[in-house]
Amino acid sequence: MELEKIGEDTFKPDYDRFSLVNVSNSILAHFGYKAIHPVYPFEEQMPGLFGGVDKIIIFLIDALGLHSLQKILDREQLFEQENILLATSVFPSTTSASISSLLTACTPIEHGIVGYILYLKELGALVNMIELSSPTLGKVSSNFSSREILFAETIFERLLSIGVKGYVLTSKNIRGSGFSNLIHTGASVRSYQSFGDLFFKLREILQEDGKLFGFVYWGLLDSIGHRMGVDSQAFESELYWLLRMINKEVIPNIGNNTLFLIMGDHGQIATPWEKEIWWSWKDEISTFFTVPPGGEMRMMHIYTRKPKEVIEYIQRMCADKAMVFMRDQALEMGLFGGSGFREQSVERLGDVILIAKSNYSFYFKFTGREESLRSKHGGLSLEELVIPIVVFRR
């Protein structure tokens, strides 16, 4: 996998073959649904991988980047290297955009979830796309139909139309949340409360009859990375024991008609507080903003009527800390995916797109609840962008 370089340490997602989007298109194609985008080259790298497969399970570990997995494997060879394939996240490399891409088989510019915090002009407000809430309006999910938020069908809906069942296994804490309801449409959703509960219910899904696609979500690793750091002992220990438990409790129960994939949605990069740039309404740059920036700390959607002035300011004051692009330039580069631009998706993009360089991060003081995080994602460093796919077949 060779990635196109767009900066000294930033790279473009490979939407042509090796992204999350291509992985889910491979699943659609295998079950007989016409792919929307090119498929991931599984068969080139592992000939015969899909032969006799009736069940495909993705166990997604939020924030599992290749760098983090390699550290675990350097400690103990839990999996054979030949079982590990590489893929890229999408841009932004954040959960709302990446999991939407995986579970719709569409790029961010197609499905519309182009960031964590977005300005929705229908509401005239910034909206957290995970919680579907606004700092000024509260919960907003009741203001929209699901297709007015997520513009694409889920792969569960597509597969159900051809008789393939879909299952989701997710934490009890987030089951039924606004974002979960969007991306799980068409699936039978089950929840777990603990490690043991998760593995018991996953074994039940594996025993279901007929063709099926299952999606299992583990989100705690991402939270630990933000709070403790991606290089912390806590992060490494959480990942190590999770992978060991999968090895012990799941892999032995995989039938010969099942393809089981462990993968991430994005990685994380350590971001020291000394390299945090904090802006507020008191700073000169804010005079150009129409509303506070969206996105997150490693990428920003900057909404402005003066994009040239914003770019000139950042290039003058932060040239070594961030890359900046006009909206049209980012679209032309295909950062959010190519081809079918939806006008509603384009309207959610910032007039200026900021991408942090190195391990810098950017904040805007808006709600008063902003806090430093030890590791972050959303940008286009290799640490954030490159994810592993660990493949199991009997």
User: Mind listing the pLDDT tens digit for each residue in 36-65?
Assistant: 999 999 999 999 999 999 999 999 999 999
Q: Which helix (H) or strand (E) holds 325?
A: strand 322-326
Which CATH number is correct for 273-376, 3.30.1360.180, 3.40.50.1260, 3.10.290.20, 2.102.10.10? 3.30.1360.180
DSSP-derived letter for residue 45 is H
The yes-or-no verdict on residue 298 having pLDDT over 90 is yes
- Could you tell me the sign of the dihedral formed by the alpha carbons of 169, 172, 178, 179, in that order? negative
- Which of 7, 14, 8 minimizes the C-alpha distance to 386? 14
* pTM over 0.85, yes/no: yes
Backbone angles phi, psi at 139, to 5 degrees: -65, 135
Q: Model confidence at 371, in pLDDT bands (50, 70, 90)? A: confident
Question: Which pLDDT score, from 0 to 100, does residue 70 have?
Answer: 96
Q: Model confidence at 390, in pLDDT bands (50, 70, 90)? A: very high
Average pLDDT over residues 228-252: 96
Average pLDDT over residues 287-305: 97
Question: Which pLDDT score, from 0 to 100, does residue 143 have?
Answer: 67
pLDDT one-digit tens code per residue, 82-115: 999 999 999 999 999 999 999 999 999 999 999 9
Question: Which pLDDT score, from 0 to 100, does residue 139 have?
Answer: 80
Beta strands in the chain (DSSP E): 55-61, 84-88, 117-120, 125-128, 133-134, 138-139, 165-171, 188-192, 212-218, 258-264, 269-270, 276-279, 294-295, 299-302, 322-326, 352-356, 361-364, 375-376, 386-392
Write down the domain spans for the chain.
20-269+381-392, 273-376
Question: Which pLDDT score, from 0 to 100, does residue 31 have?
Answer: 98
Q: Which helix (H) or strand (E) holds 103?
A: helix 95-104
Residue with the bigger pLDDT between 206 and 134: it is 206
Cα–Cα distance for residue pair 314/299, rounded to 1 Å: 13
Q: Model confidence at 338, in pLDDT bands (50, 70, 90)? A: confident
Share of the chain above pLDDT 90, in %: 88
- CB-CB contact of 213 with 31 (8 Å): yes
Average pLDDT over residues 192-215: 95
What percent of the residues of the chain are helix, what percent strand, and what percent coil, each to the nearest 5?
A: 35, 25, 40
- Which residue has 């990446």 as its token pair? 98
- Which of 263, 310, 272, 316 minimizes the C-alpha distance to 288? 310
Average pLDDT over residues 361-382: 92
Report, in angstroms and rounded to the nearest whole number, the Rg of the chain calculated over CA atoms: 20
Write out 371-386 in H/E/C secondary structure.
Answer: CCCCEECECCCHHHHE
CATH superfamily of this structure's domain 20-269+381-392: Alkaline Phosphatase, subunit A (3.40.720.10)
Backbone angles phi, psi at 237, to 5 degrees: -65, -45
Average pLDDT over residues 388-394: 96
Cα–Cα distance for residue pair 239/233, rounded to 1 Å: 10
> Residue 148 has which token pair?
């007015």
> Residue 296 has which token pair?
């997150």
Q: What is the CA 5 to chain-centroid distance, rounded?
A: 20
> Residue 375 has which token pair?
């590791």
Question: Which pLDDT score, from 0 to 100, does residue 28 have?
Answer: 98
